[in-house]
Structure 1
Amino acid sequence: MQVTIGGLHVDVMQVGPEIFRFDVKPGAETASGSMQEGPISFSGSDGGFAIRGPGGNVWECRLSKLDAFGRAAAPGLHLSWRSWDGEAIYGLGERFDSLDQAGKVVDMWIEDAPGQGDASRQSYYVTPVLYSTRGYAFFAADNPEGAFDLNARGGGVNRYRRAGQSMTFHVAFGDSLKDLVRKRESVQGPHRGIPDWAWGPWISRNSFENQAEAEEAINGMVQRNLPVAAIVQEAWKGRSETGDFNNFSSERWPDLPRFFELCGQHDIRNVLWQVPVIHPSSPEFAIGRDRGFFVKKPDGSISFRQNWLKDFANVDFTNPDAVKYWQDLIRPTVKLGIWGFKADDGEDIKPDDVFFDGRRGWEMHNEYSTLYNRALTELLEQEGVDGLLWARSGSLGNERYPALWAGDQYARWEQMASLLPAGLSSGMSGMPFWGHDIGGYLEQPSPELYIRWVQLGALSPLMQYHGVLRREPWEFGPEAEAAYALMVRIRMNLAPTLIALGHETERTGLPIMRPMVLEFPDDPRFVSEDTQYMLGPDLLVAPVLEEGAAGRRVEFPAGVWIHALRGTAYRGPAGIEVPIGLVDAPLFVRGGAILRLQLKDSATLGEWRANDPVRDMQFGQTAP
């Protein structure tokens, strides 16, 4: 169906089972008359579209132009559709304030905001992707500056306003949230998986200031029989003035062969901090300047950064030659034996910046980090590295360049709690390979907070401790060391299950860390539940999120749920107060589930050695 209305040309078509595409662009001012083509109808009298889905479900919308929208006051579009009483809405990127975004205003503008800024509303990862409990999903094909008003003003209307007067978006209907996620994957997938080694525990600090500090951390873990899959280096770079910004500093790292030999002995991968910038003092800067490889201002001069990394220039990743220029600066270091990058930054694009491909900053602000992540991923591929990224920012398309970490939290209880909705919404939005800084990035956690964060982190999709200050477990006392040892070994027990869940994500788009409502859509308790979650279909994780608590109320779904360590069985559906100690695990297994574990026949969860066999273990089905 092709329609003109209010200066817009709208082409609507069915592109798959219960999937419909809208292509919108500027058009004639004349208005089309009413028409209908199968399940798609248009009303010439009020300018509304209606899509009929299964079971009488109808999605109705209206489209109009905006004279100006956003920071650049660019001409824009306004899409509105009905909001239903009791409707819950999930997705829209990494949302730290809650899983259910109904009733909120959600900006589509990546921001570097430690602690998530104002009331946890800012985000490093934003996507115009949402799922409704009314049985529909919406996903746009690009992500310029925009904002969703999800009936925040009342009146029963959801709104999406955005810069630019061309847009492609899809609307899908489904019998369940899982069905909707799979349909989004069929249009905007596939997801790239991650290597098996990445499921193990990572260690990090801001920063291991030199080779001696990094070796100290590795040796401390090894001496305590604590597994390490990867170490993240943040203070590895040399000085820009000598052309060594993408080379190891010979002053800080005087004997790289010895360091890499130590890592090799213990099967530890090195992941390097990276940023998408070049400083004018670098010898290679002149080449990039003369060949137009940096993001520019409207007057054609280089748009130097004004905030963090002030006076650096952002590489223009819309220019293929600039991408190769930048990759070639990093390539010699990759050849040393690097397995990935911590892709920091990516948010400092101004609304009026100008790019090689003609786009402006308001169009590119969100996408820039995705292109940056793509350049690093492709570099690893070119060098034959089975690696991955640990990216801070992302947008649409970033599911092809995993993984994502949650940015910079403070070492506070409420900040740890905010990670649950963040991880759940990230997974629903397209970034299921996700993790966070155990212990928080800023400030210093108490031993109790550190332990509870370890319990959450070990049962997140990816596990890493990191902070400005030391985060090694022994820094927080014997009980914290014991708690870390238990949880990291449980994680290694679960590694075969996590790997299998990762492969399921590649096939289906289903997240690893799942909202309760995704697995139990018929239980009304779980519509807005974001303090506990499922790790795949059979593992229920209920972290302790309050200071001084000796346990928590766990909302068990129907069936039997077995505490992973004690074997205590709980029968749902019920909310039950459950003791969860500090040297303990907030983990429950669905009764009757068969888990693939790395665990000796005679061992129990929490016992692990690197050479233990992989086997299937069935959990019981009895409860009082």
Structure 2
Amino acid sequence: MAAVPTSSPVVLELARGRVRVRITADPLRVVVERDGRPGAPLSITPWARDGTVHDRFVRVTEGVVAHERLEPEDELVGLGALPRAAGAAGGTLALRAASGRRGTLRVGLPADDVVVVELTVDGRDPEDPNGTTTPEDPPLRIGARWATASGTRLAGLGARHHPSVDHAGRRIQLGADRRYLGPGCSPAMAAAGGVPQGDYAPVPFLQSSDGWAAWLDTAGNGTRFDLDAGAASASVRSASGPLRLVLHVHPGPVQRLLAFQRATGRPALLPDWGYGFWKSRDVHEHQDQVEEDVRGCRWHDIPLDAVVLDSPWETQYNTWRPNPHQLPDFGGMLRRLREDGVRTVVWVTPWVNVDAVGGQTPPDPASIRLHARSAETYAEGARTGAYVRPPATEAADHLAAVRDALAGEEDALEDLPVAGAPYLAQWWMGRGSPIDFTGPGEAWWRTQAETTLALGVQGIKADDGEGYYLPETVRFADGTTGATRAWRWGDDYRRSMRRALERVHPGQGVLFGRSGWTGQQATGMLWAGDQASDFWSLRVLLAATISAAHSGISNWSHDVGGYLGDAGVARCSPELLVRWAQLGCFTPLMQAHARLEQEPWTYDHRTLDLFRGAALLHEMLVPYVLAAARSASRSGVPIVRPLAWLDPGDDRLWGVPDAFGYGPSLLVAPIVDEGSDGRTVPLPEGRWVETWSGREVVARRGDPPVPVAAPLERTPVWVRSGAIVVSHPLEHVARGLGDVPAAERPYVATLWGRPDRGRAVALLPDGAAVRWRDGRWEPPDGRDVTTAER
């Protein structure tokens, strides 16, 4: 197919709605203009670079140290436009690189205000119908770069654990962008950039204050956004497939996010208990400790909706079978908890072990013996073809390692053919094989989950699933490899668990996952992974909360008090536990979980009282949060809302890392500095009511930040004046949410301030409306709604 010659520098021109795209061949540029978009047109330069990868994975912290050695750019020029197929909504340009490589640049406008740029540089000659290749190998990395205006703010990219929510000036490799620099970091590690930690929930979606958003539609390791030197550059390793850059040029950040979610899924809507208060601990050594957690909450008047059985609770990783020595009356325990209004959530990861060396086991001898053997389901999974497979050249070695690990056991897989060898690797709870959810492994794994759920378990804590565990060379049943599917593995995993929950507990199960990427928001609740118990980590967690919201994540949680402890050896301080609980109060799901003893009743009376108050307020706000969650599932707007969304024209709000909108009407400014009894907050333009004083504050764009006192008993919270906030009365949630149907629950509707037009409306969780018109309340018929005005 010959390229179409052109005498004009513009070889392709496309238009749709208010967007116009021009493509030039030499220099190779894609120029995107939108009527009404601020700033200059986007002038996009495709590029390619050779190089080698030297990334290093630190298993003990699940951190990736990213490093590549890159050569100068392999300059790309256009050869001319290729003929369009009939009805094609775009065009294709044939390319040649300085190295002699060939490629294509495809540009399309699939929807209003959406531009797709797809780049392939792989040695194939698009003019040769026989697909003859040039001698050159594909480049290591292909990408696209465009200038950013001075002062442009850049946000999103998932749950970025970094002190800033404005990523301008940073270079970010997704899956490798997290370093701990808190007080537990040694000077030597600080000098090296900090302790690399698990970057659990990246999302390749970048928001800009300059009228555009960029999504890289890929799932490979090595995805990068380089945002320094006055430019934005988005790139992938060519082994992961073509660069597919989707640009959204809708007029506002919320519209751009909603367009992204139309393509990738809107946030999941969970049952009410998924937005309640959960209690967990690192290891329940025995069933008595599970019941002790419940009794502790009951005795100290802390509401409780679920208890989480974290690792370990099974006979081995990950059999889905309760350990009879650790949990001798598993079914009876589930039944008793459920009768008390408490659901049970169980922890799993998508690995099945041949050994648990380096993992956790309960301390009793019988449990230790169980974990010294391979999982009793491992061999069955291997025969089923349930595991990810190694490259063919390494299959014999992996099979030999598996047989060696199973030596002396009843089924040592002596007759398993080399072609069926599972991929065997070390992970942080031992050595095992990851589940392949693209083939028969999905049904095999899910069936085991459904058996456990049928016993009365109603939630799954789906740990792990991050793409950095999968080398490029591993193979999946559907023909894909780790190079193209690594970060989609977690999505496969979550969706399988979601199906299991829906089959056994339709509409009432909760998936609580850790891994992220494109589409995570559609499958359940995400928690922030492992945090140290110090104020530096709390501050960074708050920034991650806001970055996650910029990326479309709505159902969000974290371990109140931090999971890892202070420097790994001391538990959370009383002040930090209170401040963390105050952030947890205004998080969609509030969950207490830690390695060390951080039960609030093991602290002093004041700490216990303040923790209890935060948990009770969280429960009282469940109707408000659930209504926001229902709205998110329909519109896509997350429950947590960056301040920039409340006034996109106020440039300073794009960089605020420590305050956020919560649902449609609240603004929360947690305290995240040790010893602090006050702070300042830049309020978005509008009228706001201070919840602690009832005073109305009129904020105008450009006003200085508002100073606010915040003793330990107070979290600074404002309500948009004229808004109705719906809650439960305290006495209704004193023990938790229980099982009362939404139509029978009591509610309190509180009007804060006065509406501009003499009317206001708010929704109950099931969509019924509570209205206030000209001084009169109009609750829905037959509903128990108490009204109040502040």
TM-score (norm 2): 0.70
What's 1:254 paired with? Answer: 328
- Work out whether 1:397 is the aligned partner of 2:513: no
Deviation sequence 1:518-542 (CA, Å, 0-9, x none): 1121223312001111102311111
**Structure 1 stretch displaced more, 283-292 or 77-86:** 283-292
**Structure 1 stretch displaced more, 470-479 or 511-520:** 470-479
Deviation sequence 1:249-302 (CA, Å, 0-9, x none): 111112234422331233111110101111232232223223432122222343
- The Cα of 1:412 is off from its aligned counterpart by 0.5
**Partner Cα distance (2:680, 2:178) in 1:** 34
Matching residue's letter, 1:303: Y
What's 1:617 paired with? Answer: 750
Q: Which of these residues, 434, 438, 450, is aligned with residue 331 of structure 1?
A: 450
Q: Which of these residues, 31, 40, 43, is aligned with residue 60 of structure 1?
A: 43
Larger radius of gyration: 2
What's 1:527 paired with? Answer: 654
What's 1:381 paired with? Answer: 502
**Partner Cα distance (1:128, 1:235) in 2:** 30
- The Cα of 1:141 is off from its aligned counterpart by 2.4
| Paired-residue identity, % | 26
Deviation sequence 1:127-150 (CA, Å, 0-9, x none): 211111111111122221234344
What's 2:432 paired with? Answer: 312
What's 1:137 paired with? Answer: 213
What's 1:437 paired with? Answer: 559
Q: Which of these residues, 726, 729, 734, is aligned with residue 599 of structure 1?
A: 729
**Partner Cα distance (1:37, 1:268) in 2:** 58
- The Cα of 1:613 is off from its aligned counterpart by 1.6
Q: 1:609 to 1:106 in 2, by over 3 A?
A: closer
Deviation sequence 1:331-388 (CA, Å, 0-9, x none): 2211111111111112322233222223222322222111111111111112234212
Give the SS at the match of 2:460. strand
- The Cα of 1:501 is off from its aligned counterpart by 0.7
Q: What is the correspondence of 1:335-414 to structure 2 with a 5 Å cutoff?
A: 335-347=454-466, 348-385=469-506, 386-414=508-536
Q: What is the correspondence of 1:461-610 to structure 2 with a 5 Å cutoff?
A: 461-573=588-700, 574-599=704-729
What's 2:381 paired with? Answer: 288
Q: What is the correspondence of 1:17-416 to structure 2 with a 5 Å cutoff?
A: 34-38=11-15, 39-55=20-36, 58-67=41-50, 70=53, 75=139, 76-97=141-162, 98-109=164-175, 118=194, 123-152=199-228, 154=229, 156-164=230-238, 165-235=241-311, 237-240=313-316, 245-280=319-354, 281-298=374-391, 299=393, 300=395, 301=398, 302-319=422-439, 321-347=440-466, 348-385=469-506, 386-416=508-538
- The Cα of 1:414 is off from its aligned counterpart by 0.5
Give the SS at the match of 1:294. coil
- The Cα of 1:606 is off from its aligned counterpart by 10
**Partner Cα distance (1:60, 1:119) in 2:** 37
Deviation sequence 1:390-436 (CA, Å, 0-9, x none): 11112112222111100100001000011112111112213211111
Matching residue's letter, 1:250: P
- The Cα of 1:33 is off from its aligned counterpart by 6.0
- The Cα of 1:572 is off from its aligned counterpart by 2.4
- The Cα of 1:167 is off from its aligned counterpart by 3.5
Deviation sequence 1:14-43 (CA, Å, 0-9, x none): xxxxxxxxxxxxxx9xx9962212212111
**Partner Cα distance (1:449, 1:262) in 2:** 33
Matching residue's letter, 1:333: T
Deviation sequence 1:492-543 (CA, Å, 0-9, x none): 2211110111011111221211111111212233120011111023111111
- The Cα of 1:70 is off from its aligned counterpart by 4.4
**Partner Cα distance (1:282, 1:121) in 2:** 28
Give the SS at the match of 1:175. coil
Q: 1:88 to 1:604 in 2, by over 3 A?
A: farther
Matching residue's letter, 2:478: D
Give the SS at the match of 1:34. strand
**Partner Cα distance (2:527, 2:214) in 1:** 25
Query: What is the alpha-carbon root mean square deviation over aligned residues?
Result: 3.0
- The Cα of 1:121 is off from its aligned counterpart by 8.0
- The Cα of 1:582 is off from its aligned counterpart by 2.0
8 Å CA contact 2:449–2:497 kept in 1: the answer is no
Q: 1:112 to 1:516 in 2, by over 3 A?
A: closer
Deviation sequence 1:447-471 (CA, Å, 0-9, x none): 0010000001111122101100123
Give the SS at the match of 2:202. coil
- The Cα of 1:110 is off from its aligned counterpart by 6.1
**Partner Cα distance (2:673, 2:318) in 1:** 46
8 Å CA contact 1:598–1:613 kept in 2: the answer is yes
8 Å CA contact 1:4–1:32 kept in 2: the answer is no
8 Å CA contact 2:318–2:348 kept in 1: the answer is no
**Structure 1 stretch displaced more, 588-597 or 436-445:** 588-597
Give the SS at the match of 2:426. coil
Q: 1:530 to 1:621 in 2, by over 3 A?
A: farther
**Structure 1 stretch displaced more, 417-426 or 288-297:** 288-297
8 Å CA contact 2:687–2:696 kept in 1: the answer is yes
Structure 1 unaligned spans of 5+: 6-27
Give the SS at the match of 1:482. helix
**Partner Cα distance (1:3, 1:239) in 2:** 63
Work out the number of aligned pairs and report it.
590
Give the SS at the match of 2:685. strand
8 Å CA contact 2:287–2:327 kept in 1: the answer is yes
**Partner Cα distance (1:377, 1:245) in 2:** 18
8 Å CA contact 1:351–1:362 kept in 2: the answer is yes
Structure 2 unaligned spans of 5+: 56-67, 69-137, 183-192, 355-373, 399-421, 566-570, 756-790
Matching residue's letter, 1:350: P
8 Å CA contact 1:71–1:351 kept in 2: the answer is no
**Partner Cα distance (2:383, 2:3) in 1:** 45
Deviation sequence 1:550-577 (CA, Å, 0-9, x none): 1222222333332324434444244232
8 Å CA contact 1:236–1:247 kept in 2: the answer is no
Matching residue's letter, 1:51: V
